[in-house]
Amino acid sequence: MIDSSGQSRTGIDFYRPEAWDFRRIVEMETRIFQGLESGVVTLRDVEGAEAEGDESDE
């Protein structure tokens, strides 16, 4: 097995129970997601883009 760091591991080492403990995985992912910056999205009115060579208004 090759893990996410690129290290070669045996199946016994890779699938050891403590590495796949559901509670530990959720706790780690929660810390990761809480550490991400919050983003801000601002919605505005839709604006159409004029196509070059569009002479339909003339």
Q: Is 2 helix (H, G, I), strand (E, B) or coil?
A: strand
**What pLDDT sits at residue 30?**
92
**What pLDDT sits at residue 56?**
58
**What pLDDT sits at residue 3?**
81
Contact, 21 vs 30, CB < 8 A?
Answer: no
58 residues of the chain, pLDDT tens digit each: 888 888 898 989 888 888 889 999 999 999 988 888 777 889 999 888 887 765 555 5
Whole-number Å distance between alpha carbons of 31 and 38: 14
Contact, 1 vs 14, CB < 8 A?
Answer: yes
**What pLDDT sits at residue 55?**
59
